[in-house]
Amino acid sequence: MDVNPLINGIVKYRFEAAKKEAHAVDKKLAEKWEDDATLEKKWPFLGVPLTVKEAFQLQGMPNSSGLVNRRNTISKTDATVVAFLKEAGAIPLGMTNCSELCMWYESSNKIYGRSNNPYDLRHIVGGSSGGEGCTLAAACSVIGVGSDIGGSIRMPAFFNGIFGHKPSPGVVSNKGQFPMARGAQELFQCTGPMCRYAEDLAPMLRVMAGPGIKKLRLDEKVHLKDLKFYWMEHDGGSFLMSKVDQDLILAQKKVVDHLENMLGASVQHVKLKQMKYSFQLWVTMMTAKGHDGKEPMKFVDLLSDHGKPVNPLWELIKWCLGLSVHTIPVIGLALLEGKFKYNNEKYKKFKAMEESLHKELVEMLGDDGVFLYPSHPTVAPKHHVPLTRPFNFAYTGIFSALGLPVTQCPLGLNAKGLPLGIQVVAGPFNDHLTLAVAQYMEKSFGGWVCPGKL
């Protein structure tokens, strides 16, 4: 049975080209042109099916990011990470859906429509790498490429019960995606791997990072028993966010109990008071000026993409009449963009708070600590519910603002059959710790669970 028409994850196929590439690999393998050790070293992903978020360039494929006036934009080259994965032998099957301009946590746009969760089609897949999340969860692909500036890898990975990794900033190239962060925001945009099995994360990261991998210590052996684990069950009570589901709190406590009783590790509950300002700290990062003093690019300018200027209020009227080519989340963001910008006094206050929280976390974690934190206040909500809970993404967004590596790990399903999960956070460039914990979590709690019948 073809599940893609139900979930709408892959929005542009390249199956015929992929089949030819796969046959060429089979032919070379039959001719025994290289021994297994050489194959593994040169082409670690030889013949492995790959899907790519449509926001990335893949030669000959669309690169619209769900923006209607870019619907005819065809990539003439590959994004850096895509080129690296292809060089490693991976075979792209097609492009996956995303939210319009990658700025919302439900993957829906006016070009490709809406993606649906394979565990329950009435629920969201997350965003902005949501098409990638549901495609991998439904086993339509093996590995995938996502990007993250507020949780766009981790939310889809969580809602779809797979693994996703937001690397330390500056490790993996962001070149070849649209929209591309610039100025102060460029440092916080991260490209990373998404997959069903934890053991695939590190090999993917090695390839995707290219020369940037030297900044990490992926070859370093991690002794989990010697790690210091810290945990927090919610943000401390921000009025902007939903309360954390009891299912997620219980899942986290199971992890804590297991680490203490089965692994024999040091586990400490902490209360980081500034976490309740997560949304404000993310906004501070997103509105910061670059080193050259330049303001970040306005969202409303991205909407026009060098075309006719967009009037958000007029777009809202058109949307009410069913005539707008934009989705309501981006119209709302364009309307409210100016409201989210803090005055100088507030900006300085939250910037100081962000620096203080970063210092506190980095000192707490050191080079041998990991922090366990909810991925989101709720499991995957039903379609359109995010419009009533627009700030919940800050559970992932805070770690983008702080520039820390995070691995999203699945923890089975709740009573309604929706994925549970947790974020594993480490200090800067200690990605090897979160990746090692992810593999341990998978062995201990089962990892990805097949969605079964749709």
**Candidates 53, 129, 238, 400; catalytic one:** 53
**Candidates 64, 128, 147, 173; catalytic one:** 128
Catalytic status, residue 108: no
**Candidates 107, 115, 129, 152; catalytic one:** 152
Catalytic status, residue 168: no
Catalytic status, residue 147: no
Instruction: Give 64's contacts (C-beta < 8 A, 6+ positions apart).
Output: 54, 70, 71, 73, 111
Task: With CA atoms as reference, report the closest residue to 162 among 204, 213, 208.
Answer: 204
Catalytic residue positions, numbered: 53, 128, 152
